[in-house]
Structure 1
Amino acid sequence: MAQPKTPSPMVYHELKGDNIMVILRLCLATALPVIVSVVLARINLYLSEQQKEISYKTWQIIVGVIFGCLAMISTEISIHLGNAMINVRDAAPICAGLFFGAPAGVIAGLIGGVGRYFAVYWGAAYYTRLACSIATIVAGILSGFLRKYLFENSKPIWYHGAAATTILEIFHMMLIFLTNSSDVNTAFTYVQLCTIPMVVFNTLSVTITALLLSPYGNEKQNNKTGRIKLAENFSRWLSVCVVVSCLAATGLSWRLQTSLSLNNTIEQLNLNIQDVKDDINAASDKNLLRTTESITRALSNLDSPSFDDIARLCKQYNVAEINIVNSEGIIVLSSNLSFKGYNMASGSQSAEFLVLLDGKTNEYVQEYGPISSDETMFRKYAGVVLEDGGFVQVAYDGKRLQEDISGQLVGITKNRRIGEDGCIIIADKNYIILSDRHSNDNVTHTLEDIGINVETLLDENSQQLDYSLSRIHDEPSIYTYDAAEGYYIIGVMPQAEALFSREVSSYITFFMQTVIYGILFILISFLIKHLIGDNLEKINQSLKQITEGDLDVIVNVRNNAEFVVLSDSINATVVTLKHYIDEASEKMEQELKLAKDIQYSSLPNVFPAYPNRKEFDIYALMDTAKEVGGDFYDFYMLGDKHLAFLIADVSGKGIPAALFMMRAKTVIKSLAEAGNPVNDVFTLSNKKLCENNDAEMFVTGWMGILNLETGIIEYANAGHNPPLVRKKNGNFEYLKTRPGFVLGGMEGVRYKKNEFQLEPGDEIFLYTDGVTEATDKYDALYSEERLQNFMNSIRNADCETLCRMIRSDIDRFVGTAPQFDDITMLSLKYKGGPEYEKNHN
C-alpha cells in the first residue's frame, strides 16, 4: 500500500496571504450542512404531505450516506496549516444525528471518520489523522445518542445543538493531545491554531441549521400549554451553573498555572545560573591554584626568597600579589610592602586561610571579593602549604581574573540551553556581553542593546531573587541574574516557552472540564428527565386517561416518597369517583338491559319459527357489540305462499343505531306486508328513512321473498354483503350481483329486483360485516374466504347447527380480542312445496 503523503512543515502563509479565499472556503464548509439539512427536511415534509413516506430504515440510510459524503467533502475543502487542518467536518454527522435520527448520525460519523482516516493518501494532514477520525465517528454516535435518549427523537432547540457541538469540538481538540502525547509542543501548536475557528464554525453551522429547521416542527410535540417543561427549565439553569463553574475553575486554574510556571521558570533559570557560576568559579579556582603551585615550587627552590624574587614571580606569572605566611599566620614577605607583618587572624577574609596551618589542608581558594585590610580592594586568593611550615598566598585582581576566565566563558555558556530556546548570557561589570549564543561574536553588544535594562541589575555581589520581564532579542522574555567573579550571569527564557506549561495545562484543564461537565450535564439532565420528568409525564398521561373516562387506570409511580403520596391520592380520588359512577352505571345498565330485551323481543327469536310449515327451515342469531346494536334480521309470511326474510346493518353502534334499526325494521315490514314487490319495498323505505334523518344514519340490507310453491326468490340488495348459496350436495358460493345504494343515504334512489331459483335441499346464508370483519389480536380479519371455506366443510347440518358452528369458529379465530361490531346471521334451507312437486313429477 502506498504511504501517505508527507505534509509540509507548519506554515501560516495561507491564512495571511489569501484571507478572502480562506474565509470563503470556511463559509462554504459552514453552509453545506445547513443547506443539505433544509433540503432533506423539505423533501421529508413533501413526502409526508403526499402520503408517500418511505420507510424509516431507508430514510435513515439515505440521510446517513448523504451527510457522510458531506463530511468527506468538508475534509477536502479544509484549510491546511502544515500537518493540521481547520475544517467543518464534524457538523455533518452532528446535523444528521441531532436533526434526522440516531442511525443517520452513526452512519454519517462512520463514513466521515473512515474517509478522514484514508484521506491522508491524497493530501490530508497526517499528524491529526487519528484524532480527527475518532472525533468524527464520536460526533455521529453521541449526537444520535442525544437525539434518541435525551431529546426523545425530536429536534433539539438551537442552544442545545450549539452546546453539544461545542463540547464535541473541544473533545476533538483534546484528542489531538491524547493521540500525540509524545509531541506535546507540536500538538499544542495545532490546538492553538484550530480550537477557536473549528469550535466557532462547526457550532455556527449546527446552530443555524437548528434555527432554520424549527419551522418544520418536531416529530414529537408533548407540550401544548406554551410553558416550559420542568426538565427543560432545570436543564437551562443547570447549563448556566455548568458554564459558570467551568469558567471559574478555568480562571482559577489559569492563575495557579501561571504562578507555577513562573516559579518553575525562575527555579530553572537560577539553577542554570548557579551551574554556570559554579563552572566559572571552578575554572578560575583551578587556574589560580595551578599558578599558586607553580609559584610555590619556584619559591621552594630559593634558599632565602627576597622582595625582588617575589616581584619577579608576580611579573612572570602575571599575578597581582604574592604573600609568604609563616606558621604563626604572619605575612613575612609580600609583593605589597604594606602587608608585611600583617596577622592573617585579624580579618575575617584573611582568617579563612588559617585552615592551611592545621596540618590537614594543603590548599585553599577563596572567591573574588574585598580584602580584610582594605575593603575597596578586590582580590581572589589561593594558598598552598610550604614544606617547612606556613603557606604561600597568590592573588588575582579583577583584571587578571577576567583575563584568566574570559577565554573559558564562551565554552561554558555558548551552547548551553535552558529548555528549548532559553540561554545564559555573560556580561562584564561594564555590561558588555561576553557570551550570548543569539549575538554575533564579531560585534560588541551591551545588555541594553539586546533589551535588558541595566538599571535593574544589582550589585555584582548580590543575587536577584525576583524576575524581570523584558523584550530580549525582540522576543518577550523572562530573565533573572547573579554575579560571580566580577561577571553578570543572566538566565533568559522566552515568555512563550516559560508559560508553555501553563498554556498546555490550562487548555487541557479547560478541555477536560468542558467534556466532563458536558457529560455530567447530559447524565444529570437524563436522570432528572427520567426520575422526575418522565414520572410526572406518566402521572399526566394517567390523569388524561382518567379525564377521558378510563377509570380503571391506576397511577403507579412509586420511585420516590413524594410520587407514592401523589399516586395514592389520585387513586383514592378515582376510587371514590368510580363508586358514584358505578351507582349511576348500575341504574343505566338496568335500563339498557331492558332496552336490549325490548330489541330482541322485536325480532323473531322462537325456533322452530313455523313448525307446521314443511317447505323450509330457517334460523337466525344476533350478538351485539354493545348492550343494544344496529344489526337486525327479520322474516315473516306474506300470505300463505310467500316468505319474506332479510338482514340489515345500521351505521353506528349503541342506542342511536338501535333506534334507527327499529324504525327501519318497522318501515320495511309494513311496506312488504302491503304487497309491494321487493324492489319497491326498498325504494319506498329509502324515501321514508331519508325523511328527518338529521343524524345522517343509513342502513345496508339484503331482502328476499321466497315463493314457497315454486322455490323462486325475488330479492333486492341495498349495499349489503352478498349472501352465500349452496345447491343440494354442492358448495356454498357467493351470490354476486351489483348492489344498490344504502337505505337512508340519498333520496330518489330506485332499487332493482333480481331473482333466482331454489331447488329442494338448496340453502341460502345471510350475514352482516360483523362476521367477515371479526378481528383477532393481530388485527387479522375473519374474511369472506374463511367463512366460505368453513361453511363448505359442514355437511348435512340444519340451519341452527350451521349458524352456531359458524359462531363458534368466529370465537376461536378472534380469541381474546374484543368484539367491535354486531354479529348477525340468518340461514334458510328450502325443502320444496306442492306446486314445485307437481311441476317436477
Structure 2
Amino acid sequence: MAKYLPLALVALLPVLLSAVLYWAYSKPLSQWSPRKKQLLAGFCFGLAAVFGTEFGVPMDGLRVNVRDAAPICAGLIFGAPAGIMAGLIGGIERYLAAWWGAGFYTQLACTLGTMFAGFFAAGLRRYMFEDKKPGWVYGLAVGGVAEIVHMTLIFFTNMDDARTGFHFIQLCTGPMVTANACSVMLALLVVGIMGKEKIIRREGVPHIAETFQKWLLVCIVVAFGCAFSFTYALQTRIYHGTMEETFRQNLEDLKREIISVAGRNEMLKAKGGEDDPEGKFFDGSQEDPGLLIGSITENWHVGDSGYLLVFDQEGRLKSTAVGAEEEITEGNTQIDWPSLEEGEISLAIIGGKEAYVMWQEAGRYRTMAVAPVEKADFSRNLSVYLMTFVIVLIFSALFILIYCLIRRLIVDKIHSINKSLSRITAGQLDVVVDVRSSEEFTSLSDDINNTVATLKHYIDEAAARIDRELEFAREIQYSSLPSIFPPFPQRKEFDIYASMDTAKEVGGDFYDFYFVGTDKLAFVVADVSGKGIPAAMFMMRARAVIKALAETGISVNEIARDANDTLCQGNERGMFVTVWLGILDINTGELDYVNCGHTAPYILHPEVGGEWVKKKSGIMLGSVEDVPYTSRHITLSPGDIIYLYTDGVSESNNEAGEFFGEARLEEILQEGRGLEVAPLCVKVKERLDAFADGTEQFDDITMLALRFGRVAENDIPDIQ
C-alpha cells in the first residue's frame, strides 16, 4: 500500500483545484465573464496536467501519472472550452517532456491520450450532459474510459514491440485507471457538496432522461461483465487446450526418441562397446548411459517459449534446455512429484520461476514439458486485455450513442410537446403541437391538437352561454337602478342625474335616490370591494338593506350603523362596501350625511369656487360589527351642485400608468360651471375616456350629481 500513497496524493491535485476554482467563481470572481472563467480554468488545469507529467510516481520500474484527470475535471465541471484548453496544454507538454526524461516509448500515446481526455470531457459536457455538470458516478466512468483509451493507444502506437508495450499496459492499467477515475469522481463529489447538491437521489418522480441513463448504464455494466467473463474463460480454455495438446505432442515425440536411444545403448552395452571404441554412446563406468539421452533436449523447443527436460526415476535432472532464460539446475528447480499427475498440466518452480509443466514416463526416464508462466500467459493476457479495452470502448460508445439518440429522438420531442402543452394550459389555445419525427409522435400531436380543438369548441359554447347569462344579469342590475331622468319631473326644487359604467359585465358600484318623506330626498353612492358576480350580489344586498332602513325614517348615522351590522352577518368572504349617504331637505337645502370610507364629494357653487367635503363618519360597511357612525351636516345654497363618484373616476389610468386624480376632476367640474347636472356628468365621462386613450377600464365608474334650487321648465333635460 505504501507505494500507492504518493500516487493518491498526486491524484488529489485536480480535486483541490476544482474546489478552489468553484469557490472563486461563486464568490470573488463571480462577476467575471464566462470567457474569462473558461480561460482561467483551462490554463490552471493545463498546469495541473503538466504537474502530473513532471511528478509521475515511480512504480515497478515505470512512472505512473494522474495527468488525464485534470482536463477531464476542467471539461466536466467548468465547460467544454476549459477541457479542450487543458487537454492541449497537457498533451503538448507531454510530447516535449520526452526530451527531458518523460520517455519516448509512450510519447505519442500519452500526448494523444491527454488531448483525447480534454476533447472527450468537452464533448460529453456539451452534447450528453446538456452543458451541465454531471454526477460523481459519471465522473468515475468518464475517467476510467479515458484512461483505457490511453492504455489502448500505448499498444497500438507500439505494435512493432508488442511485448514491451504489453509490459507497460500490464503494470500501469490498474493504478492509472483507478487514480484518474477516482480523482475525477472526488472532484465532482466535492464540487457537488460545495454547491449544496443532494448526493442521495432526490425524492419525487425522476426525469425520463435520468431513468434512461441509470438503466442503460446498468445494462451496459452487466453486458460488459458478461462479455469480459466469457472472453476470459474462452481465451483461458483455448489457451490451456492448445498448451495441453502441444505438451502431449512434444512429450510423445520425446518419448519415442528416448526409447530409441535407450534401446540402442542397451544393444551397445550388450556388445561390450565393440562399435563404440571412444565411449560416445556407452561409458562402462556409469550405471546409466544418460549423456546422450540428456543431450536430446538441448535444442528442443516447445511452442514459442517452452522446452523439454528429462529426469530419472528418482527425479534427478538429466538434461538442459536452451529455451530457458536461466540455467536450470536441481538447486533452482522444485518439483513435488507425488502431487503431479501424469499427463496433466500443473504448476512447478523450474529454474527459479513458476512454470506450467506436464510429465510422462518414457522407459526408465521421466520427461517433462515446461512453459514459463510469464511468457506462456503473454498471448492470453494480451488478448484478454485488448478484448477488455475494446469491449469497454465499444460499450462506452454505444452508451453515449444510444443515449444521445434516445434524447434527440424521444426526450427532446417530449420536451417540445410539454412546452406546447404548457402554453396551451396557460390559455394559449391557438398553439399547435407539431412534432412529427415518427408515426407515434405524429399521432400524439394530432390527438393533442384535436383535443384542444374540441376543448376550444366547448369553451366557446360555455363562454357564449356565460355571456348571455351575464348580459341578462347586467340588464337585471341596471334595471334595479333609477335610469329615467328627470326621475321626478313634477318636483322643481332640485335636479339629479346619475350613471354607472361597469368594468365587467356586472359591477359592484351602485347609486340610488328616493324620497323618505314628503320633502326628504335620500341619495347614495357606494362601491363594493371586488369585481364581477360576487360584488354585484353584495351590491344588491347592500342597496336593499340601506333603502329599507332609510325608508323607516331613522337618521343617517343610525342607517349606517344598522346596515353595517346587517351586512356583517353571513359575510364569510369578508366583503365590504364604501357608502356616501345623504338626506336632503329639498325646501331648505339642509343636508345630513354619513361618509362610510367613501371618496369625498365636491360641491360646485353657481358663481365661483367649490369645495371638497372630506369629513368622514366611519369605516366602510360590512367589515366590523358594532361600529358607531357620526352624522355630518351641511347646507346647500340655491344653485349648488354636489357631485358624488366612486374611485373608478379618480383612479382611472392611462397607458403610462398615471391616475386621473382629484385635481383633474376639480378642473373639469370648474370648467362645467353653468351646465346642468346631466351634461356635467357626460362631460366628466368624455374627459375620462380621452385620458384613458383606449386603456382597458379597470374599475367601475359611477357618478351622481344633484343641483339644489328650483329648475326652470325649459332647463329640465330629458335623458333616459
**TM-score between the two structures when normalised by the length of structure 2:** 0.60
Residue 144 of structure 1 pairs with residue 122 of structure 2? yes
Distance 1:93 1:286, change over 3 A: same
Asked whether the equivalents of residues 84 and 128 of structure 1 are also in contact (C-alpha less than 8 Å), the reply is no
What is the distance in 2 between the residues matched to 1:494 and 1:39?
52
2:179 aligned residue: 201
Distance 1:251 1:279, change over 3 A: same
Distance 1:442 1:171, change over 3 A: closer
Give CA-to-partner distance per residue, 1:571-613, whole Å, 9 cap, x none.
122223334556749999x99xx999xxxxxxxxxxxxxxxxx
The total of aligned residue pairs comes to 491
Asked whether the equivalents of residues 282 and 289 of structure 2 are also in contact (C-alpha less than 8 Å), the reply is no
Residue 556 of structure 1 pairs with residue 535 of structure 2? no
Which among 133, 136, 140 is matched to residue 155 of structure 1?
133
Residue 33 of structure 1 and its aligned partner are, at CA, apart by 0.9
What is the distance in 2 between the residues matched to 1:492 and 1:659?
100
What is the distance in 2 between the residues matched to 1:398 and 1:227?
91
2:69 aligned residue: 91
2:298 aligned residue: 414
**Residue 531 of structure 1: SS of its match in structure 2?**
helix
- Which 5+ residue runs of structure 2 have no aligned equivalent? 472-500, 504-650, 672-690, 696-720
Q: Which amino acid aligns with 2:388?
A: F
1:493 aligned residue: 371
Distance 1:94 1:662, change over 3 A: closer
Distance 1:227 1:485, change over 3 A: same
Give CA-to-partner distance per residue, 1:644-680, whole Å, 9 cap, x none.
xxxxxxxxxx98546975724x7337438859xxxxx
1:261-280 superposed matches below 5 A: 261-274=239-252, 276-277=254-255
Name which one, 1 or 2, has greater alpha-carbon Rg: 1
**Residue 132 of structure 2: SS of its match in structure 1?**
coil
Which among 633, 655, 664 is matched to residue 668 of structure 1?
664
1:119 aligned residue: 97
Give CA-to-partner distance per residue, 1:268-317, whole Å, 9 cap, x none.
3344445545665776789999x89xxxxxxxxxxxxxxxxxx9x75634
Give CA-to-partner distance per residue, 1:808-840, whole Å, 9 cap, x none.
xxxxxxxxxxx9xxxxxxxxxxxxxxxxxxxxx
2:488 aligned residue: none
2:395 aligned residue: 517
1:25 aligned residue: 6
Q: Which amino acid aligns with 1:259?
A: R
1:53 aligned residue: 32
Residue 135 of structure 1 and its aligned partner are, at CA, apart by 1.3
Which among 142, 147, 166 is matched to residue 188 of structure 1?
166
Asked whether the equivalents of residues 18 and 187 of structure 2 are also in contact (C-alpha less than 8 Å), the reply is yes
Asked whether the equivalents of residues 273 and 282 of structure 2 are also in contact (C-alpha less than 8 Å), the reply is no
What is the distance in 1 between the residues matched to 2:327 and 2:126?
69
Give CA-to-partner distance per residue, 1:710-762, whole Å, 9 cap, x none.
xxxxxxxxxxxxxxxxxxxxxxxxxxxxxxxxxxxxxxxxxxxxxxxxxxxxx
Distance 1:93 1:407, change over 3 A: same
RMSD, aligned CA: 4.4
Q: Which moved more, 1:486-495 or 1:505-514?
A: 486-495
1:259 aligned residue: 237
1:259-338 superposed matches below 5 A: 259-274=237-252, 276-277=254-255, 314=272, 316-317=274-275
- Give every structure 1 segment of 4 or more consecutive aligned residues whose post-TM-superposition deviation is greater than 6 Å: 281-289, 396-405, 438-443, 585-588
Q: Which amino acid aligns with 1:663?
A: F
Residue 256 of structure 1 and its aligned partner are, at CA, apart by 1.5
What is the distance in 1 between the residues matched to 2:429 and 2:352?
84
What is the distance in 2 between the residues matched to 1:498 and 1:451?
19
Residue 402 of structure 1 and its aligned partner are, at CA, apart by 8.9
Residue 502 of structure 1 pairs with residue 380 of structure 2? yes
Distance 1:246 1:491, change over 3 A: same
Q: Which moved more, 1:535-544 or 1:58-67?
A: 58-67
Q: Which amino acid aligns with 1:452?
A: I
Give CA-to-partner distance per residue, 1:777-803, whole Å, 9 cap, x none.
xxxxxxxxxxxxxxxxxxxxxxxxxxx
1:353 aligned residue: none
What is the distance in 1 between the residues matched to 2:327 and 2:394?
53
Residue 97 of structure 1 and its aligned partner are, at CA, apart by 0.9
Asked whether the equivalents of residues 57 and 64 of structure 2 are also in contact (C-alpha less than 8 Å), the reply is yes
Residue 414 of structure 1 and its aligned partner are, at CA, apart by 3.3
Residue 238 of structure 1 pairs with residue 196 of structure 2? no
**Residue 435 of structure 1: SS of its match in structure 2?**
coil
Which among 31, 34, 38 is matched to residue 19 of structure 2?
38
Which among 308, 313, 317 is matched to residue 433 of structure 1?
317
What is the distance in 1 between the residues matched to 2:361 and 2:4?
54
Give CA-to-partner distance per residue, 1:332-377, whole Å, 9 cap, x none.
xxxxxxxxxxxxxxxxxxxxxxxxxxxxxxxxxxxxxxxxxxxxxx
Distance 1:457 1:398, change over 3 A: farther
**Residue 424 of structure 1: SS of its match in structure 2?**
strand
Residue 570 of structure 1 and its aligned partner are, at CA, apart by 1.9
Residue 511 of structure 1 and its aligned partner are, at CA, apart by 1.5
Residue 24 of structure 1 and its aligned partner are, at CA, apart by 4.6
Residue 140 of structure 1 and its aligned partner are, at CA, apart by 0.9
1:729-744 superposed matches below 5 A: none
Q: Which amino acid aligns with 2:436?
A: R
What is the distance in 1 between the residues matched to 2:82 and 2:196?
17
Give CA-to-partner distance per residue, 1:105-133, whole Å, 9 cap, x none.
11111111111111111111332222221
Asked whether the equivalents of residues 355 and 373 of structure 2 are also in contact (C-alpha less than 8 Å), the reply is yes
Asked whether the equivalents of residues 398 and 486 of structure 1 are also in contact (C-alpha less than 8 Å), the reply is no
**Residue 499 of structure 1: SS of its match in structure 2?**
helix
Residue 234 of structure 1 and its aligned partner are, at CA, apart by 1.6
What is the distance in 2 between the residues matched to 1:209 and 1:35?
8
Residue 240 of structure 1 and its aligned partner are, at CA, apart by 1.2
**Residue 477 of structure 1: SS of its match in structure 2?**
strand
- Which 5+ residue runs of structure 1 have no aligned equivalent? 1-18, 293-310, 320-395, 459-463, 597-653, 676-700, 702-767, 769-818, 820-841
What is the distance in 2 between the residues matched to 1:48 and 1:281?
88
1:671-686 superposed matches below 5 A: 671=667
2:416 aligned residue: 538
Asked whether the equivalents of residues 98 and 143 of structure 1 are also in contact (C-alpha less than 8 Å), the reply is yes
What is the distance in 2 between the residues matched to 1:472 and 1:465?
18
2:81 aligned residue: 103
Residue 102 of structure 1 and its aligned partner are, at CA, apart by 1.3
Identity across matched positions, percent:
37
**TM-score between the two structures when normalised by the length of structure 1:** 0.52
Q: Which amino acid aligns with 1:573?
A: T
Q: Which amino acid aligns with 1:548?
A: A
Q: Which amino acid aligns with 1:488?
A: R
1:713 aligned residue: none
What is the distance in 2 between the residues matched to 1:512 and 1:232?
27
Q: Which amino acid aligns with 1:529?
A: R
Distance 1:402 1:276, change over 3 A: farther
What is the distance in 1 between the residues matched to 2:50 and 2:191?
23
Residue 93 of structure 1 and its aligned partner are, at CA, apart by 0.7
**Residue 316 of structure 1: SS of its match in structure 2?**
coil
What is the distance in 2 between the residues matched to 1:489 and 1:467?
13
Residue 98 of structure 1 and its aligned partner are, at CA, apart by 0.8
Asked whether the equivalents of residues 116 and 133 of structure 1 are also in contact (C-alpha less than 8 Å), the reply is yes
What is the distance in 2 between the residues matched to 1:278 and 1:408?
14
**Residue 450 of structure 1: SS of its match in structure 2?**
coil
What is the distance in 1 between the residues matched to 2:281 and 2:48?
78
Give CA-to-partner distance per residue, 1:229-262, whole Å, 9 cap, x none.
1121121111112111111121122221111121
Distance 1:266 1:182, change over 3 A: farther
Residue 166 of structure 1 and its aligned partner are, at CA, apart by 1.5
Asked whether the equivalents of residues 652 and 659 of structure 2 are also in contact (C-alpha less than 8 Å), the reply is no
What is the distance in 2 between the residues matched to 1:494 and 1:260?
18
